[in-house]
């Protein structure tokens, strides 16, 4: 029996002064030690819990034997964004949640730390490149250079298709650059993986927003749409249009762009900020607010910790950095003349679990109170760009693109995957969907013959 490694982290009061990563990576000795904790289970549940299906025990075994580059190869075989996922995967609810060490009343193997370690070793030698199939003389357009699009583009290029990726932003990466701030994953990580993807001969067209898919179909044999869920859901309460109310997605995008030297970040210096919501995005927005100099940052969430979708790791990070949690609390209206002055909140109570087992909430009458804040960040969910979907003309449901089991949209030849379809899952889920969609596109373009994988 042996305990899990604990990595060094920069103390909260120091780390909030910058957007830099605050968790150190494992050194060789600790990585080999942690790798030796893996039981190497047969038909390991961690693999089943990984959307990308990485052969986790195999890559960990290779770390244990000192074959670090070989470990990276195993990861990259299944996940072209394996380095990024090593940094950003919510492993607490994916692979690590199924680690058999837990059945021994021990902490799970630190899979993500080992995945990061393998990536950092891989980077020293050059990221692993696999052979490409012969050119197929068919072209596929990929709309959106986020995780789903990158994954689909890479898979299709390897299969021999001519691939062009379009993205509205100046740089490819989507969420990886414009949504995930660098304290989670340094941008050098996705950038290195995008550089690797480029080596497969993919054509990237940036600063190009695609609004018409049908004309694309005239030039390309198939189209994959991975435009993500870049817009925030609205609260639908009075005061949402006041100055100082920021939708979380747009807020994070503007912070990211500011860090890249474009435009300005919202001025939160000395402000009191309320972030509404309980997901990972709410945590990100809260921690970003702390780094932008906010005086007090609240997370206002209508349920309790038990129901909170954000992983405990992020919750702890936020708490350490001084974010205050107002649980069982819902906003009623945002108050102010022109700008936000306060939120009127109401305390909530949990109701009995419904048939799905999830507990609902209802307001407690007369429990309204005023929370004095200058800024509100709305992080209650994300959705794809509605206007764009309308112009695409594909069938949608509840604001999401509808696809069949082959990731095919209502328009023949147009496929879709990632957040625009699933409503906002993880990077690794988007990678997995991009991969599966690519296989389906291959099947479609090769006349119904079954895909290779």
Partner 1 sequence: MVSKPDISVKFCNLELESPYLLSSAPPTCTGEMIMRAFEAGWAGAVTKTIKPDKTPVYDLKNRFGVMGFETKQMILFENIEEVSKRPVGTWVNEIKEIKRKFPEKALIGSIMAECKEEDWEELARVVSEAGVDMLELNFGCPHGMPERGMGAFIGQRTELIQKLTKAAKRGSSVPVMVKLTPNVTDIAFTAKAAEEAGADAISAINTVLGLIGINIDTFEPIPTVDGMSTFGGLSGPGVKPIGLRCVAQIAQATNIPVSGIGGITTWKDAVEYLLVGAGSVQVCTAVMWRGYRIISDFVDGLTNYLADKGFSSVQEIIGKTLPRLTAWSKLNKDYTVVASINKDLCIKCGLCYVACRDGGYQAIKFEQGKSAEVDEEKCDACSLCTHLCPVPGCITWKKVTK
Q: Per CB under 8 A, does 104 bind partner 1?
A: yes
101 versus 435: smaller Cβ distance to partner 1 = 101
3 versus 353: smaller Cβ distance to partner 1 = 3
Q: At 425, list the tokens.
A: 């899952």
Tell me the C-alpha distance between 226 and 407, whole Å: 11
Q: Per CB under 8 A, does 2 bind partner 1?
A: yes
Least Cβ distance, residue 318 to partner 1 (angstroms): 33
Binding-site size for partner 1 (CB under 8 A) equals 15
Q: Per CB under 8 A, does 20 bind partner 1?
A: no
Find out whether 274 and 373 touch, Cβ atoms under 8 Å: yes
Helix axis angle for 56-64 and 28-35, nearest 10°, is: 130
Find out whether 79 and 88 touch, Cβ atoms under 8 Å: no
Nearest to 227 by CA among 210, 204, 212: 210
20 versus 40: smaller Cβ distance to partner 1 = 40
Q: Per CB under 8 A, does 42 bind partner 1?
A: yes
40 versus 205: smaller Cβ distance to partner 1 = 40
Between vectors from CA 258 to CA 252 and to CA 262, what angle results, nearest 5°?
125
Identify residues 54-83 at the interface with partner 1 (CB under 8 A): 64
2 versus 351: smaller Cβ distance to partner 1 = 2
Nearest to 423 by CA among 397, 445, 404: 397
22 Cβ neighbours under 8 A, 6+ residues apart? 9, 10, 15, 183
Least Cβ distance, residue 47 to partner 1 (angstroms): 9
Alpha helices in 136-221 (DSSP H): 147-159, 175-178, 188-198, 213-219
149 Cβ neighbours under 8 A, 6+ residues apart? 142, 143, 165, 167, 174, 224, 226, 418, 434
Tell me the C-alpha distance between 346 and 330, whole Å: 5
Piece in contact with partner 1 (CB under 8 A), picked from 19-27, 44-52, 347-355, 404-412:
44-52
Residue choice 10, 23, 41, 371 for contact with partner 1 (CB under 8 A)? 41
Q: Per CB under 8 A, does 125 bind partner 1?
A: no
33 versus 325: smaller Cβ distance to partner 1 = 33
Piece in contact with partner 1 (CB under 8 A), picked from 40-48, 339-347, 378-386, 425-433:
40-48
Residue choice 40, 135, 267, 353 for contact with partner 1 (CB under 8 A)? 40
Residue choice 23, 100, 259, 265 for contact with partner 1 (CB under 8 A)? 100
70 versus 244: smaller Cβ distance to partner 1 = 70
33 versus 69: smaller Cβ distance to partner 1 = 33
Tell me the C-alpha distance between 115 and 87, whole Å: 8
Half-sphere exposure of 320 (CA within 13 A, CB side): 15
Q: Per CB under 8 A, does 36 bind partner 1?
A: yes
Least Cβ distance, residue 69 to partner 1 (angstroms): 15
Piece in contact with partner 1 (CB under 8 A), picked from 37-45, 226-234, 331-339, 419-427:
37-45
Neighbours of 379 (CB within 10 A): 30
Q: Per CB under 8 A, does 124 bind partner 1?
A: no
Largest alpha-carbon pair distance within the chain? 70
Residue choice 39, 128, 402, 411 for contact with partner 1 (CB under 8 A)? 39
Piece in contact with partner 1 (CB under 8 A), picked from 41-49, 83-91, 228-236, 287-295:
41-49
Least Cβ distance, residue 79 to partner 1 (angstroms): 21
Residue choice 10, 25, 33, 120 for contact with partner 1 (CB under 8 A)? 33
Tell me the C-alpha distance between 196 and 431, whole Å: 15
425 Cβ neighbours under 8 A, 6+ residues apart? 418, 419
Residues in contact with partner 1 by CB under 8 A are 2, 33, 36, 39-45, 48, 64, 100, 103-104
């Amino acid at each position: 029996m042996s305990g899990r490694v604990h990595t060094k982290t920069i103390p909260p009061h120091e780390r909030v002064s910058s957007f830099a990563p605050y968790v150190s990576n494992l050194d060789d000795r600790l990585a080999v030690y942690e790798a030796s904790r893996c039981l190497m289970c047969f038909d390991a549940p961690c693999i089943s819990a990984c959307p990308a299906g990485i052969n986790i025990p195999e890559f960990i075994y290779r770390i244990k034997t000192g074959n670090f580059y070989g470990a990276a190869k195993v990861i990259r075989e299944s996940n072209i964004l394996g380095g990024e996922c090593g940094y950003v995967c919510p492993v607490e609810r994916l692979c690590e949640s199924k680690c058999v060490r837990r059945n021994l009343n021990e902490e799970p193997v630190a899979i993500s730390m080992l995945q990061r370690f393998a990536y950092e070793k891989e980077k020293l030698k050059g990221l692993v490149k696999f052979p490409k199939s012969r050119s197929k003389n068919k072209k596929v357009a990929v709309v959106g250079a986020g995780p789903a699009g990158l994954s689909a583009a890479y898979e299709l290029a390897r299969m021999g298709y001519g691939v062009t990726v379009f993205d509205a932003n100046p740089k490819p990466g989507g969420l990886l650059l414009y949504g995930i701030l660098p304290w989670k994953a340094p941008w050098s990580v996705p950038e290195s993986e995008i550089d690797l993807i480029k080596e497969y001969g993919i054509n990237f067209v940036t600063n190009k927003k695609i609004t018409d898919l049908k004309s694309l179909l005239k030039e390309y044999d198939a189209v994959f749409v991975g435009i993500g869920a870049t817009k925030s859901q609205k609260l639908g309460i009075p005061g949402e249009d006041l100055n100082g109310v920021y939708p979380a997605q747009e807020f994070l995008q503007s912070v990211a762009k500011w860090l890249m030297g474009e435009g300005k970040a919202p001025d939160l210096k000395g402000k009191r900020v309320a972030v509404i919501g309980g997901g990972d995005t709410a945590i990100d927005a809260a921690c970003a607010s702390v780094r932008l100099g906010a005086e007090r940052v609240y997370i206002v969430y209508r349920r309790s910790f038990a129901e909170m979708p954000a992983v405990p790791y992020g919750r702890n990070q936020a708490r350490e950095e001084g974010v205050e949690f107002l649980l069982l609390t819902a906003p009623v209206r945002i108050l102010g003349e022109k700008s936000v002055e306060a939120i009127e909140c109401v305390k909530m109570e949990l109701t009995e679990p419904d048939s799905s087992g999830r507990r609902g909430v209802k307001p407690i009458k007369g429990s309204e109170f005023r929370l004095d804040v200058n800024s509100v960040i709305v992080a209650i969910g994300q959705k794809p760009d509605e206007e764009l979907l309308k112009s695409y003309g594909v069938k949608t449901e509840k604001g999401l693109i509808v696809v069949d089991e082959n990731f095919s949209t209502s328009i023949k030849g147009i496929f879709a995957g990632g957040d625009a379809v699933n409503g906002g899952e993880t990077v690794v889920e988007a990678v997995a969907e991009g991969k599966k969609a690519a296989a389906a596109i291959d099947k479609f373009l090769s006349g119904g013959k079954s895909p290779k994988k």
